[in-house]
Amino acid sequence: MIKKPDTQDEMYSQTFGKKPFEQAKSYAYAYMDGIHERNVFPTDEAVKNLAVFDEPFPAASSNAAELLRILHEYGSPATVTQTGGRYFGFVTGSSIPTALAAKWLADVWDQNAALYVMSPINAQLEATCEKWLVDLLGLPADTATGFVTGSSTANFCGLAAGRNELLKRQCWDVNVDGLFDAPKLRVVVGGQAHTTIFKALALLGLGKSRVEIVPTDSQGRMIADKMPELDSRCLVITQAGNVNSGAFDPIDEICDRARRVNAWVHVDGAFGLWAAGSRTKKILTQGIDKADSWAVDAHKTLNAPYDCGIILCKYREILIAAMQVTAAYIPHGEQRDGMQYTPEMSRRGRAVELWATLKFLGKDGVEELVDRLCDHAQRFADNLRAEGFRILNDVVFNQVLVACDSPEHTKATLENIQKSGECWCGGSVWNGEPAIRISVCSWATTVADVERSVAAFVTARNGAIFP
């Protein structure tokens, strides 16, 4: 029987002493030691055992050691090994160990990143990361950054800034007058825009039905010559990295068209914007410095720990105005107050692990990481093609679309891959047919992981049963 703490001091020791942390550390190390050989997706038994967590809310407090044991014994086997080298299911990076260690330390600090007076260290690291990101991505010198949960929120922030500024130019203040009776805006977006763009537009009151859709080519790139005539009421949304094919819109040409009429251009660069950090891949992002706002995830291609999105805006005051909040009790000073650049007030200090990631990699390390991921994607395509699979996209970045001889065979092969535990890929639909989508995003992926995964594809295809 588990002994309950008898005194407040004993409860404090169990809750805040070092023993729980030592126990958690030992479990974390055990997890790390087995990460590269365990099933990429949990077994049926591991998923079934999650029933242990389906219990009534306990009336009494729980023993720290026991709850950590339960979490490790039943929780660890039911995780998806996204930190290993054979997870290709979504555009999801792993965690660079040094950055993860920094996050552990930051978790103990438990800083609220809203204001400088709440966390001077986080404010400083946000300012440093802002400077480094602008340099790395080649953006205008005074570009402002906000650190949010992910590119879904980052897209929301960039589009909010653009919406408000376009209306301000028509003498309409959204912060004061709202959207009732506001001048009409136009939203121009490619036919292959990510679903988070439409989610952000819905949240911003811009909806879907009046969005002007630009046709795309066979790789999902917006066709600039088929764009409507732009004007100063236009919010133009481009894409740096199609979530299926990895293709990039012709951002340079689109920005030139927009600048001639003073339209606002936002770049959804969730995983692809990092191409700017590679001398061999930056051609894909040509012209991004001409845009007005950008969204990117550090937890994708850059491999920072999860929950690390970034909004960048060319005009600092416009972003601050869009995210504005004031109150008598909020002490703004000369130093950076992170809440000025994000929708949230209270939020965790995610700049710590971002700083650690950038500091650890440096410019050369970012370039090497980006290039290695792209090389692995090309190796996947070449080896699978040699095995008789069809590659449906031009592999320009880290995405590969794969199909078998028929839609039914493709679906059955994907099901077998996901069941195998050898690797994990997701499915999609590309140009009307089902496809297996490979997203190469983890620093931990090796050539051996690619070859092992290709072998898993072959086994899955040969064992596929379909009508």
CB 275, CB 296: distance < 8 Å: no
Q: 204 with 179, same domain?
A: yes
Q: 334 with 368, same domain?
A: no
Q: Which residues contact 74 (CB under 8 A, 6 or more apart)?
A: 46, 49, 50, 52, 53
Q: 410 with 277, same domain?
A: no
* Average pLDDT for 12-34: 85
Is beta strand 399-403 parallel, antiparallel or unpaired with respect to 212-214? unpaired
DSSP string, 391-403: E-S--SSSEEEEE
Angle between helices 447-462 and 351-386 (to 10 degrees): 50
Question: Residue 457 and residue 403: Cα distance in Å, rounded?
Answer: 11
Examine residue 78 and state whether it is found in any structural domain, yes or no: no
Q: Name the domain count of the chain.
A: 2
Q: Does the pLDDT at position 246 exceed 90?
A: yes
Can you say whether residue 141 is alpha, beta or left, with left for phi > 0 and alpha for psi between -120 and 50 degrees?
alpha
The owner of tokens 């080298």 is 85
Domain boundary among 313, 337, 358: 358
| pLDDT per residue as tens digits for the range 247-284 | 999 999 999 999 999 999 999 999 999 999 999 999 99
Q: What is the rounded average pLDDT for all residues in the chain?
A: 93
Backbone angles phi, psi at 391, to 5 degrees: -100, 120
Q: Does the pLDDT at position 326 exceed 80?
A: no
Q: 301 with 320, same domain?
A: yes
Domain boundary among 328, 358, 388: 358
Q: Which two tokens stand for residue 441?
A: 């995003």
CB 70, CB 26: distance < 8 Å: no
Q: 283 with 405, same domain?
A: no
Q: Which residues contact 311 (CB under 8 A, 6 or more apart)?
A: 145, 146, 148, 153, 154, 157, 158, 293, 294, 295, 319, 341, 342
Residue 222 β-bridge partners: 216
Q: 312 with 163, same domain?
A: yes
Residue 181: helix, strand or coil by DSSP? coil
Examine residue 417 and state whether it is found in any structural domain, yes or no: yes
Backbone angles phi, psi at 339, to 5 degrees: -65, -15
Q: 132 with 224, same domain?
A: yes
Q: Does the pLDDT at position 11 exceed 60?
A: no
Confidence class of residue 88 from pLDDT cuts 50, 70 and 90? very high
Examine residue 285 and state whether it is found in any structural domain, yes or no: yes
Confidence class of residue 17 from pLDDT cuts 50, 70 and 90? confident
Q: What's 255's domain CATH number?
A: 3.40.640.10
- Print the domain residue range for 435: 364-462
Confidence class of residue 334 from pLDDT cuts 50, 70 and 90? confident
- Residue burial 92-126, b: 16+ Cβ < 10 Å; e: rest: bbbbbeebbebbbebeeeebebbbbebbebbbebb
Examine residue 266 and state whether it is found in any structural domain, yes or no: yes
Confidence class of residue 14 from pLDDT cuts 50, 70 and 90? low
DSSP string, 45-89: HHHHGGGGG--PPPSS---HHHHHHHIIIIIGGGS--TTSSSEES
Query: What pLDDT is stored for residue 12 in this prediction?
Result: 59
Strands (E), 204-299: 212-214, 234-239, 264-268, 293-297
Q: What's 391's domain CATH number?
A: 3.90.1150.10
Query: What pLDDT is stored for residue 1 in this prediction?
Result: 42
Q: 302 with 386, same domain?
A: no
Is beta strand 234-239 parallel, antiparallel or unpaired with respect to 264-268? parallel
Examine residue 46 and state whether it is found in any structural domain, yes or no: no
CB 211, CB 201: distance < 8 Å: yes
Examine residue 84 and state whether it is found in any structural domain, yes or no: no
Question: Residue 316 and residue 294: Cα distance in Å, rounded?
Answer: 13
Examine residue 305 and state whether it is found in any structural domain, yes or no: yes
Confidence class of residue 332 from pLDDT cuts 50, 70 and 90? confident
Question: Residue 39 and residue 317: Cα distance in Å, rounded?
Answer: 49
| pLDDT per residue as tens digits for the range 343-381 | 999 999 999 999 999 999 999 999 999 999 999 999 999
Q: 373 with 454, same domain?
A: yes
* Average pLDDT for 48-68: 94
Element of type H or E holding 25: helix 19-34
Query: What pLDDT is stored for residue 378 in this prediction?
Result: 98
Examine residue 405 and state whether it is found in any structural domain, yes or no: yes
| pLDDT per residue as tens digits for the range 184-225 | 999 999 999 999 999 999 999 998 888 999 999 999 999 999
| pLDDT per residue as tens digits for the range 396-436 | 999 999 999 999 999 999 999 999 999 999 999 999 999 99
Q: 282 with 370, same domain?
A: no
Q: 191 with 273, same domain?
A: yes
Q: 443 with 332, same domain?
A: no
Domain boundary among 340, 358, 376: 358
Query: What pLDDT is stored for residue 53 in this prediction?
Result: 96
Q: Does the pLDDT at position 2 exceed 50?
A: no
| pLDDT per residue as tens digits for the range 431-451 | 999 999 999 999 999 999 999
Backbone angles phi, psi at 113, to 5 degrees: -90, 15
